[in-house]
Amino acid sequence: MESLSKGASQAAIIAVGSELLTPDKLDTNSLFLTEELNSVGFKVTQKIVVGDDAHDLDSAFHYSCHVAPLVLVTGGLGPTEDDLTRDVIASALGRSLQIDKVLLEDIRKKFSERGLRMPEVNRRQAEVPQGAEILSNEHGTAPGLILGNETMTTVLLPGPPRELQPMFRQYVANRLRNINAGQRVYRRVLRTTGETESFVDECVKPVYREWVSRSVPIQTTILASLGQIDLHLSVVSSDEFEAKTILDDAVSELRERLGVLV
């Protein structure tokens, strides 16, 4: 991930799969990746879910490239015709696809170890964009891929969580941690009751507006649900004590302004 500069801190996630656009399937991969990325200092600036459609994925990818230097794409790396991620991302980055002979033999071996002959369609999973780094998949046949250029890095990960999670932790997380020099996102939630979202916002707006200009900025999000308003605070720091002190002080400041609402 040499193309990511030190201190890069924004990431975008694209989840691929038409099943994720139905009421029957949740995109749990994005939740997992958000937590993992936060733990190594990356804030997720956007998440996009697209179906198995080349045009939609191409549009989502080009848009994501403009909002974050790190783009993670999950799913669409299988062997069938509707698995389009390799082809679309390679084309978008101007890379040709080439059969990696070592990878192809590894896929064949995985089938033979189960007493099976590799279906010819699985050759597609050995097609690698020119210059990509291959991430081994210990739990399936779809390898992960890392592609970088002068301004950004793209990470392609398989869709099944049992494949994606160990792959990310083994091959991606530590490298991102090194890029961000040990930074991570620290969070705190303050819950209020008894007033509307607009009232709470008016009370605390002078405070959180001042926070964003500090040397270690605090980001604030106000979320309303039935009977309560939650204020979500977050900071990015490589110093756990510093981060917790900042958040403790911020919560105290909010409590003072909100009084009995907290």
Nearest in space to 15 (alpha carbons), one of 99, 76, 78? 76
**Whether the predicted pLDDT of 215 surpasses 60:** yes
Two tokens at 87?
């082809």
Report yes or no: 160 and 78 within 8 Å, Cβ to Cβ: no
Q: How far apart are CA 47 and CA 60, in angstroms?
A: 10
Two tokens at 217?
């900025």
- Mean of the per-residue pLDDT values of the chain: 94
3-state secondary structure (DSSP) of residue 245: helix
| Per-residue pLDDT reduced to its tens digit, 14-50 | 999 999 999 999 999 999 999 999 999 999 999 999 9
What ranges do the domains of the chain cover?
10-179, 185-261
Average pLDDT over residues 107-123: 97
Per-residue pLDDT, 183: 87
Q: How far apart are CA 195 and CA 106, in angstroms?
A: 60
Two tokens at 153?
């890095």
Average pLDDT over residues 243-262: 94
Looking up tokens 């009995």 gives 260
Say whether domain 10-179 belongs to CATH 3.40.980.10: yes
Per-residue pLDDT, 6: 56
**Whether the predicted pLDDT of 179 surpasses 90:** no
**Whether the predicted pLDDT of 190 surpasses 80:** yes
Per-residue pLDDT, 151: 86
Q: Which architecture, in CATH terms, is 185-261? A: 2-Layer Sandwich (3.30)
Nearest in space to 129 (alpha carbons), one of 171, 164, 86, 166? 86
Signed CA dihedral, 18, 67, 163, 127: sign only: positive
